[in-house]
Amino acid sequence: MHDKTLAELARGLAAGDFSSRELTSSLLERIKRHDPALNSFITVTGEQAIKEAEAADALRHKGEAGILSGLPLAYKDIFCTEGVRTSAGSKMLDNFIAPYNATVVEKLRHAGTVSLGKTNMDEFAMGSSNENSYYGPVKNPWNPTLVPGGSSGGSAAAVAAGLVPAALGTDTGGSIRQPAAFCGITGLKPTYGRVSRYGMIAYASSLDQAGPMARTAEDCAMLMNAMAGHDARDSTSVSRNVPDYTQGLDKPLNGLKIGLPVEYFGEGLAPEVETAVREAVRVYESLGAQVIDVSLPHTSMAIPAYYVIAPAEASANLSRYDGVRFGYRCEDPVDLEDLYKRTRAEGFGDEVKRRILIGTHTLSEGFFDAYYRKAQQIRRLIRQDFLDAFARVDVLMGPAAPTTAFELGSRADPVQMYLQDIYTIAINLAGIPGISVPAGLVDNRPVGLQILGPHFGEAHLLNVAHVYQQATDWHQRRPEIKE
């Protein structure tokens, strides 16, 4: 059962081929057997999962089951889950038991899903390799010497390894799409405001967005039907009708206009990744699509702008962790100042401290206009680049990352790590949706094709991705894991 997609499992449950309890027990046993080598989970909620599975089976027996009833999934450990540790991958929150559920958790539980636990992640979602976790690095199932990507690396690795059919991640600058690419799965970053951020521990509030990670676009569409929608508790949530994302998945692509940003195929892109991406584009041409070269002229400014805006927002958001109200507290503080200093020095990891320092500096008197305001102006230019491009084409395509997965410990230079997000960061700055789908293997390392659409264009993106997956089998490839 671990090789089936979410949609296949849903059909199996509906047909009575197996029960949710049988499915859940099988996956929990698989996690117990294989996750010690991957470290993709921080917390496994086995007893709770069995109870939820039995409740789903009871509803199905009464004829009251929904599409997602009884389907197991996992949550990145950045979503608050009532009664379960929610750590954000940090020592600072290692002892934090969430008193409520995030909205997306609430919605998916209401839809009948079964939570198997919380997945590992870069601390406070800051990282591109999942090496910044207090709980240790996550290993890529395709090769345990490689990173899975980040910051949603635990979710990506768990899905790729068949430990869970789907998981939730968050994407602030590529943290769903890049690990999806590195692990050979499908990952969707929705339009900013399409999915509620309530109960999702904040990194950069104007950039963070929750999204599904699964084997296929069809699976992501099923999850989006439950996740998307307005939430009065999130002031950035958009009040807009939610379509049925599973409808229209098979719509033909005749006449589809695909834009290839010239900036995404230049210096820094590994030749083997470019070859795989261009081959994927040729598949689309064979399906009736038209390819047009376009330009996103401010692409080179995306990383500098992001690494002003995101750390500034992180500096403000993480100021709440002071050892007073919740989370880690240093031992025997001599006074309040000592409490603040030692709690934060001991509770945060190096990358989090680095970004807090950068953000605090850019927000300080005398630097706000020079850095933060200027970065926001650049952000507006980047957004306009995408609006201009979508006036000419229906979708944009390119690589999700400049390389395939790299070796653990090989990117010690923070700047080199930041450059991993060159093709994903601008999408968050503009607030548009993007999806990464498997598009090849290079030396047994997956390559991801990134597809971008205009604001609230998720349904069309899922259609474009799904038709490609019907014409190819890259999403069906699995890493070899000794049973």
The residues carrying an active-site annotation are 76, 151, 175
Q: What angle do CA 453, 406, 300 make, to 5 degrees?
A: 45
CB 133 within 8 A of CB 114: no
What's the order of all strands across the beta sheet hosting 395-399? 41-44, 114-119, 72-76, 166-170, 210-214, 186-189, 434-442, 445-452, 395-399, 257-261, 290-294
Distance CA 214, CA 218 (A): 9
Burial level of 139, CB count in 10 A (0-12/13-18/19+)? buried
The continuous run of DSSP H or E covering 81 comes out as none
Would you call 215 helix, strand, or coil by DSSP? coil
The amino acid at 144:
P
3-state secondary structure of 260: strand
**For residues 178 and 173, what is the distance between their CA atoms, to the nearest angstrom?**
9
Q: Which of 201, 194, 200, 251 is nearest to 224 (CA)?
A: 194
